[in-house]
């Protein structure tokens, strides 16, 4: 089965609303494609102008986080309904930076995944190992545990529509990309786990991205691997180079 590739930019805490609109205007001709899903995951305050700026293009807007409650006394948080009403389609959940700096756990990730699905947002569910874990040889065990908990109580039909992002923490923002074989090994293990939890059809439908220092030079090789269906891109999504990454996902 051939899965449609999906390449998402993760802007992190970059770009004011004014800068966001400028960047979108620069990138939109460079990322135009009929063959790949293109998503810009932007800071919450940039969402409304970004949705306006991408009108009439192939770019979908994503959020970088959501809260799992519907509404109420949760100062500073943003609900799924707020994101939907603003025009958001995707939401990154459980990025390693949120786990490290904002105390997200596998359990809160699971609650957020369930809420995103309930409301009709597509979650981009992140997992990844540290360098120490990789050196200890526990990468696959660790990723399996993260993903098993993230997908607790998610039905096969809903899981099939999710996106998973495998992002080795040692490769994020470091310029040290995983080799395409290292990335493929883990993405394949994630697909095998989905087959174990669900079934063949679900495992074949779910899209699995690689993230961690993806750039214009390495994207094509990574995305050509059988179990890598695109990328989650940080630094390079803020540059014209993002266009080369989109081009790299259509080459094979």
Dist CA 173 CA 233 (whole Å): 10
How many angstroms separate the Cα of 52 from the Cα of each of 25, 47, 59, 71, 167? 11, 9, 11, 25, 30
Q: Annotated catalytic residue: which of 97, 104, 167, 241?
A: 167
| Minimum separation from the CB atom of position 12 to ligand PGA (A) | 7
Minimum CB–partner distance for residue 202 and ligand PGA (Å): 24
CA 56-60-61 angle, 5° bins: 120
Q: Show contacts with ligand PGA in window 194-233 (CB under 6 A).
A: 211-214, 232-233
Q: Report if residue 64 touches ligand PGA, rule: CB under 6 A.
A: no
- The two beta strands, 122-127 and 36-41, are unpaired
* Among 5, 6, 7, 10, contact with ligand PGA (rule: CB under 6 A): 10
Q: In the bound complex, what is the minimum distance in angstroms from residue 173's beta carbon to ligand PGA?
A: 4
- Would residue 77 show up in a list of annotated catalytic residues for this protein? no
Among all residues, whose Cβ is closest to ligand PGA?
234
Helices (H), 14-155: 17-27, 47-53, 80-86, 96-101, 106-119, 131-135, 139-150
Q: Which of the stretches 16-24, 43-51, 165-173, 184-192 binds ligand PGA when contact is defined by CB under 6 A?
A: 165-173
- Single out the residue of 60, 63, 62, 4 nearest to residue 28, CA to CA: 60
What minimum distance in Å lies between the beta carbon of 135 and ligand PGA?
A: 20
Q: Which of 167, 184, 227, 241 binds ligand PGA (CB under 6 A)?
A: 167
Residues 11/237, Cβ–Cβ less than 8 Å: yes
Q: Is there binding between residue 120 and ligand PGA (CB under 6 A)? A: no
95 is catalytic: yes
Task: Report the residue number, 164 or 203, with the smaller CB distance to ligand PGA.
Answer: 164
Enzyme catalytic residues: 95, 167
* Binding site residues, ligand PGA, CB under 6 A: 10, 167, 172-173, 211-214, 232-236
């Amino acid at each position: 089965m051939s899965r449609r590739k999906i390449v998402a930019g993760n802007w992190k805490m970059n770009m004011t609303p004014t800068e966001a609109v400028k960047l979108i205007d620069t990138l939109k001709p460079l990322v135009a494609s009929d063959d790949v899903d293109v998503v810009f995951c932007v800071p919450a305050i940039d969402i409304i102008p970004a949705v306006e700026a991408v009108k009439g293009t192939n770019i979908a807007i994503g959020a970088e986080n959501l809260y799992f409650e519907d509404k109420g006394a949760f100062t500073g948080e943003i609900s799924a309904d707020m994101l939907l009403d603003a025009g958001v389609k995707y939401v990154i959940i459980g990025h390693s930076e949120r786990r490290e700096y904002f105390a997200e756990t596998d359990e809160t990730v699971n609650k957020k995944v369930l809420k995103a699905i309930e409301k009709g947002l597509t979650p981009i569910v992140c997992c990844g190992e540290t360098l120490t874990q990789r050196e200890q040889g526990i990468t696959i065990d660790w990723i399996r545990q993260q993903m098993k908990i993230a997908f607790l109580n998610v039905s096969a039909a809903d899981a099939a529509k999710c996106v998973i992002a495998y992002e080795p923490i040692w490769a994020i923002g470091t310029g040290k990309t995983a080799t395409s074989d290292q990335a493929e090994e883990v993405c394949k293990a994630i697909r095998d786990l989905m087959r174990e939890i669900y079934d063949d059809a679900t495992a074949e439908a779910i899209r699995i991205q690689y993230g961690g220092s993806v750039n214009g030079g390495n994207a094509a090789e990574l995305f050509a691997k059988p179990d890598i269906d695109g990328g989650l891109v940080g630094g390079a999504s803020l540059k014209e180079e993002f266009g080369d990454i989109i081009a790299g996902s259509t080459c094979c």
